[in-house]
Amino acid sequence: NDLATLMSVSVNDVISTCMGMGMFVSINQRLDAESITFIADEFGFSVDFTTTEEDVDVVLEADNEEDLIERAPIVTIMGHVDHGKTSLLDYIRSSKVTEGEAGGITQHIGAYDVVTESGKRIAFLDTPGHEAFTAMRARGAKVTDVVIIVVAADDNVMPQTKEAINHAQVAGVPIVIAINKIDKPNASPDKIKEELSGINILVEDWGGKYQCQEISAKTGQGINELLEKVLLEAELLELKANPEKSAVGTVIEATLDRGRGYVTTILVQQGKLNVGDIILAGSHYGRVKAMFDHRGNRIERAGPSTPVQLLGFDGAPQAGDILNGMQTEREAREIANKREQIAREQSIRTKKHITLDEIGRRLAIGGFKELNVIVKGDVDGSVEALSDSLLKLSTEEVQVSIIHKGVGQISESDVLLASASDAVIVGFQVRPSNGARKLAESEEIEIRLYSVIYDAINDVKDAMEGLLAPKV
Ligand code: GDP
């Protein structure tokens, strides 16, 4: 309606133009920038947007190969609840204090770095749970080089173990398995390895490619070996960064501290961050007033793969926002303001994620090649049957990918995964949890619920054909 008014044409004409493009819109439907440009063009108008996403990206300095040096890996620990994620991190943190700084009090800042026996550094993100990991990824942040999956040897490979593995795999992050609690008399690491093989995770001593270490987060047994395996995995990645350019990092946490102001934990990933630097993250900016390491010691500068706590932002950026060191305060402020404006506009814009109804339009515009689907169902048999049938709907133009499938209700972590991977969720004889439903609304993730498999298959099939039909 707004667009029709701007162009002084009838609403019905705009709607039928949309239909012609495979978009079935209502009179008050919001359209995204791409569609507006397309439709306006049909009516002989060109569109000028006052802000665009390009304006708010910070142009990164190019790296010369010779400026790159090895950087420490950044590791996240994931696994089922009570399998020992916190204990493992606590053990590592308390036993591997950087030389010369022993005795410092560790504060919770969301990220730590430790030095291993072999003298190499590893940075750990203290955001246990794959939800946090995937939430970061959904915001475009890539902050984990290696994932440690913890499985308790006195328990089983649990739903959350599988989910964590799946989330790491979808993100393309290498996995090291830690079989924990082997000090317990009823520990049975072989049973865990067997269960892992059942979900296609073959560990090395079973002839597979996954490194695996038996550990005890209580006694410390095997933990040095685990860290060496993480380093080995990291070596294969040839992680490098230029330590001299302006800083690039990711926001891990931000809080408002009475007295100190906004306190932000940043993981510096490239370049160097100095006290006094002008910084930008999301729609906030400022100047680094003071910086601290995770032991609370004041530091003047931080290089790649270093977590720091800093003071100086004019507000609280969100976890997952990218931090950039900037040349001038004016540029930082301008970009921050533009981003805020875009965020405001986006909150009233249309779907940012795929829906079945959107498929046709994206096909018409071109470039849509893959439909990502998450399948949840009440029993394994129907999940497998539905997934198989959906996979078979792949055409030359569009590949259907089942990025995750599982038994049980649709969880918040499913929605986060959908958001990070631009997927639709198909539920068969299951419902979303309350939290998942709310999150799906705010993340604009489509959840389709079915009680007949045939209906689900038909809907996806129709959607994909709807896409294929209109050629513009
Ligand atoms: P998280 O939920 O994965 O973070 O698990 P926690 O680290 O909180 O551990 C859950 C429980 O298992 C706690 O009571 C720990 O003390 C215990 N635990 C963790 N690791 C070990 C271990 O290696 N051996 C034994 N015996 N207990 C452990």
Structure tokens at 312: 């100086």
Residue corresponding to tokens 């404006």: 341
Judged against a pLDDT cut of 90, whether residue 156 lies above it is answered with: yes
The answer, yes or no, to whether any atom of ligand 1 lies below 6 A from the CB of 86, is yes
- Quick one: DSSP state of residue 397? S
Statement: residue 250 has pLDDT above 80? yes
> How high is the pLDDT of residue 347?
56
Going from the Cα of 229 to the center of ligand 1, the distance in angstroms, rounded, reads 21
Q: Where are the alpha helices (DSSP H) in 8-111?
A: 11-20, 33-42, 85-95
ipTM greater than cut 0.85 = yes
Percent pLDDT > 90 in the chain is 55
Q: What confidence score (pLDDT) does residue 340 get? A: 86
Q: Read out DSSP for 252-310?
A: EEEEEETTTEEEEEEEEEESBEETT-EEEETTEEEEEEEEE-TTS-EESEE-TTEEEEE
| pLDDT above 90: residue 181 | yes
Establish whether 128 is an annotated binding residue: yes
Is the pLDDT reported for residue 19 higher than 60?
A: yes
Q: How confident is the model at residue 368 (pLDDT cuts 50, 70, 90)?
A: confident
Within 8 A by CB and 6+ apart from 49, the residues are: 33
Query: Could you tell me which residue, 300 or 57, shows the higher pLDDT?
Result: 300
pLDDT of residue 350: 45
Q: Report the alpha-carbon angle 270-273-279, nearest 5.
A: 100
Q: Looking at residues 416-432, what average pLDDT do you find? A: 92
| Predicted local distance difference test score (pLDDT) of residue 468 | 42
* Pocket mutation for ligand 1, best pick of 80, 83, 87 (most atoms within 8 Å of C-beta): 87
Residue 361 CA to residue 35 CA, distance in Å, equals 9
Mean pLDDT of 315-344: 90
User: What is the rounded average pLDDT of the residues 210-215?
Assistant: 98
3-state secondary structure of 43: coil
The pLDDT tens digits of the residues spanning 56-77 come to 777 777 788 889 999 999 999 9
Q: Is 220 in the pocket of ligand 1 (CB under 6 A)?
A: no
Confidence of residue 472 (pLDDT cuts 50, 70, 90): very low
Q: How far is CA 181 from CA 148, 196, 385, 445, in A?
A: 15, 17, 37, 38
